[in-house]
Structure 1
């Protein structure tokens, strides 16, 4: 396994992050344990979850949120591996039907952290991500709440998820006069077919020293050899079929390119992300333990400038970074 620093911090994490959103929703507890066993044995030390993961992500639906954290907590108790894992979870999403059971008020941050610690059966969260920007809560309140958790030893680092570049800048600007470390990582949608973050989020991460942790690095399976799976008769959701119809020519060129290289499409998509120096670790979310080795192969792939150019031709980005992407 390869390791790198998480942004400007001194924390070293694996170049792949184990995502656990499927735990409890499509993957049962026994299989989730098998996935964590295999990931940990392979050297993956960064595990990512969220308080809301595990089932229908709304509290007014059948209870399901929190299950992913509970699975991880029971795995920690069984494996004894807590001290060797860099554990990330998130706060923001609705965790109840009350008006303060969501978002980033100081009240909800404190309660959500305590609830996550209980489910995870641990005394601290290594990286506490804000799952989304809260446009109604001032940064003075958010940072004060996070500072208290850090002072109490319940949180070590703070991250953001789904932030715009200017929101990262605002957060860091508010943390600086408080002599607070602020954000160390950002989780964003980023893959070969979804490259909008190249305009402003990636430059902001580089400038402020945040590690970028891409979620959905395979576009929900879109970049994982979906045409081959279609030919093999595997079922594909209607939304995926629409995407395939819209981008069929690109998919055909991409999957042919991967076959010519002799690599799996999923591994190439992950390797493309890993070549970016701002990227710390793409989040992989295997549904079964057997899917994990496919992702690990990405660490063995080195893409030449010519290969990168061909991938850019198939999946063009927004034209570079802002403002040069659209102005002089």
Structure 2
């Protein structure tokens, strides 16, 4: 396993992060335990979850929200591996039907952190990520709440997810004014088929030396290969089928090129991200141990400059960073 500092922190995280979004919905607890065992055995030391994971992201216990954290918590209690992993979870999404059961108010952050700690069966969260920006809550309140959790030893680092470039800049400015460290990482959608992040988010992360954890590195299955069959059995079948039709010509070229270089499309997609110096780690969200093992192959794949150029031709980005991408 390879490791990299999480942004400007001294924390070392594995170049692949284990995502647990499928735990409790598409992956049962027994299989989830096997996946976590195998991940740790392979050297993956960073596990990512969220309070809302484990079923449809809806405040309805019967549909399973919170199950992912509970499964990870039971695994930690059973194995005693808490101090061997960097544990990351998130706050923001609705966790109840009340008006204060969501968002980034100090009220909700405190309650959500306590609930996550209980489900995870631990006394601290290593990386507590804001799942989305909350435009209705001032940064003074957000950083006050996060700072209190840090002082109490309940969280160690703060991260963001799905933030715009200017959100990241604002968060850092507000943190610095309060003599706080600010964001350790941003978790964003980024893959060969969706490169919008290159316009403003990646430049902001580079400037502030904030780590980048990538979700959906294979485009929610789009880049997995065998795209004519890839929507079967998936959660967003209709959406994926629409994207397959939209990108069919590119997918055909991509699949042919992967065959040419002798690597599976999903592995190439992960390897492409690992070649970007701004990327700390992509998240692999396996439903089976076999899928996890396939993802590990990406760590050994070296893509030449010629291969990277060909991938850019198949999946062109936005034309560079803003404003040069569109202003001149």
Q: TM-score, normalised by structure 1?
A: 0.97
Q: What is the total number of aligned residue pairs between the two structures?
A: 326
Partner of 1:309: 309
Contiguous gaps of at least 5 residues in structure 1? none
Tell me if the contact between 1:56 and 1:62 (Cα under 8 Å) persists in the aligned partners: no
Partner of 1:323: 323
CA distance change for structure 1 residues 19 and 235 in 2, over 3 Å: closer, same or farther?
Answer: closer
Q: Does 1:31 align with 2:31?
A: yes
Partner of 1:66: 66
SS at match of 2:188: strand
- Which runs of structure 2 are paired with 1:260-279 in the superposition (5 Å)? 260-279=260-279
Contiguous gaps of at least 5 residues in structure 2? none
Partner of 1:48: 48
Distance 1:61 1:32 in 2: 20
Tell me if the contact between 1:175 and 1:182 (Cα under 8 Å) persists in the aligned partners: yes
Partner of 1:286: 286
Distance 1:116 1:321 in 2: 37
Partner of 1:181: 181
Q: TM-score, normalised by structure 2?
A: 0.97
Distance 1:227 1:286 in 2: 18
Distance 1:235 1:205 in 2: 35
Distance 2:290 2:70 in 1: 23
Distance 1:150 1:226 in 2: 46
Q: Does 1:151 align with 2:151?
A: yes
Distance 1:258 1:296 in 2: 17
Root-mean-square deviation (CA, aligned residues, Å) is 1.3
User: 1:58, CA displacement in angstroms?
Assistant: 1.0
- Which runs of structure 2 are paired with 1:165-244 in the superposition (5 Å)? 165-227=165-227, 229=229, 237-244=237-244
Deviations 1:252-274 (A, max 9, x none): 10011101111111110000001
User: 1:235, CA displacement in angstroms?
Assistant: 5.5
Distance 2:254 2:262 in 1: 12
User: 1:61, CA displacement in angstroms?
Assistant: 7.1
SS at match of 1:226: coil
